[in-house]
Amino acid sequence: MLNIVNLELRQCLDVLIFFRKKAYNKLMKKFIENSIFASNLTKTLLYSIEYKMLFQLSRCFSYFVTPPFQEKDKNLLKFLEAGVIKIHTEDAKNISEGIYPIEVIRPKSPFRHIQNIPMLFLDSLKISRRRKLNIKKDFNIQSSESAEAVEIPDYLKRNYHFQTDGYFSEQSAKLYEHQVEILFSGTAGPMRRMLIKMIKEKLNHDRPIKILEIGAGVGSASLDFSKALNYSSYTVTDVSDSYLNNAQKRLNGPNFQFVQTPGELLPFEDNSFDLVFSVFLFHELPVNIREKVLHESFRVLNAGGIVAICDSLQLDDEPILNKVLKQFPLDYHEPFYISYINWNVKTSLENACFTEVSSDFKLLSKYWTARKQ
């Protein structure tokens, strides 16, 4: 009888321990999510303050420069604020669930951040001056190193975003990531990382894969994706030698390769990769080049391989944001953006022979994945 009682007590104790551990794990998970959310929100506050500082600086010199359009629609601003909270919450949840590691939110060097501020202020005035005068080709691309390495496509020979030297100088590469974070109020990283979850769902396994990233820029997405995905090789490409050099300095490991090339002329053999992806690339390409990049992606993918895209939101995804999308190319010189927000990506993927096309959107970004059968 005593043995039976002891057995029942042990079983009750085991149940209590189980639920205690479960409650503890749930509490810890919530604590981790809240901490990550707080970290991300701090970045949003920081970059939002910097945006306001740069905007006010442009206003002080408004006789000489034109600041970007200032949105005053309260309903739209509230919608965006709610979207920022939502994407930071989802980003924190993805980290706590192990979809990507906590290292992706490791803070950048405070010294380097502060060091960039004077250069950002100066470049902001230059950008606003070009905006006022509608100057789109304020640089000599022939003097850049990248012009000697590969032939730069004509469509890239311009000051995208009105930024100094476009994508073709060390100074531009040095400031670019900081400028993007200011533009998106610290949400660029979380928006990029949403694609990782879609890729993992599409892969449906954790075997090492061969990755090709097209238009990697300074390696902002590369850092996060390389931490989250299991790969045997990771090929980082960009048409800008300056940006690619910057990416190479940030990425460590024997499995990285760096190749300067435009996405429409990939110098790789057929059936070479398991994943081909890009982040914020297609809206900067003419329509015919977009189609070529998709066909090239199909060519270099192995059978069963995946193409994945993160880019801008499109027209009518969130109707309240349509006017924001239409204003963006006017403020930041994006000549192919209007055609992009009207582009039927699903049809183009299917025309390139991809199947299993999936899409989603979060805040200001949209995502697609598809498979090569």
Give me the domains of the chain, ranges plus CATH numbers: 186-371 (3.40.50.150)
Residue 147 pLDDT > 70: no
Q: What is the pLDDT of residue 1?
A: 52
Confidence class of residue 254 from pLDDT cuts 50, 70 and 90? confident
Q: The whole model's pTM is what? A: 0.91
Phi-psi region of 270 (alpha: psi -120 to 50; beta: other; left: phi over 0): beta
Residue 5 pLDDT > 50: no
Confidence class of residue 21 from pLDDT cuts 50, 70 and 90? low
Residue 27 pLDDT > 90: no
β-pair partners for 366: 311, 361
**Strand arrangement of the beta sheet that strand 209-214 belongs to:** 256-260, 231-238, 209-214, 273-279, 301-312, 365-371, 355-362
Residue 23 pLDDT > 90: no
Residue 15 pLDDT > 70: no
Rounded to a whole number of angstroms, the distance between the first and last alpha carbons of the chain is 65
Q: What is the pLDDT of residue 16?
A: 43
Q: What is the pLDDT of residue 320?
A: 98
Q: What is the pLDDT of residue 40?
A: 95
Residue 120 pLDDT > 90: yes
Of 122-126, 139-143, 155-159, 181-185, where does mean pLDDT reach its minimum? 139-143
Residue 274 pLDDT > 50: yes
Q: What is the pLDDT of residue 108?
A: 77
Q: What is the pLDDT of residue 9?
A: 45
Which DSSP symbol is given to 363?
A: T
Contact 163, 125 (CB under 8 A): no
Integer Cα distance of 244 and 226 in angstroms: 16
Average pLDDT over residues 156-167: 95
Residue 149 pLDDT > 80: no
What are the pLDDT digits (tens) for 171-226? 999 999 999 999 999 999 999 999 999 999 999 888 999 999 999 999 999 999 99
Query: What is the dihedral sign for C-alpha 145, 148, 154, 155?
Result: negative
What are the pLDDT digits (tens) for 338-369? 999 999 999 999 999 999 999 999 999 999 99
> What would you report as the CA-atom Rg of the chain, rounded to the nearest whole angstrom?
23
Coil, helix or strand at residue 279 = strand
Q: What is the pLDDT of residue 253?
A: 83
Confidence class of residue 110 from pLDDT cuts 50, 70 and 90? confident
Average pLDDT over residues 227-235: 97
Of 240-254, 256-270, 289-303, where does mean pLDDT reach its minimum? 240-254
Strands 209-214 and 273-279: parallel
Confidence class of residue 141 from pLDDT cuts 50, 70 and 90? low
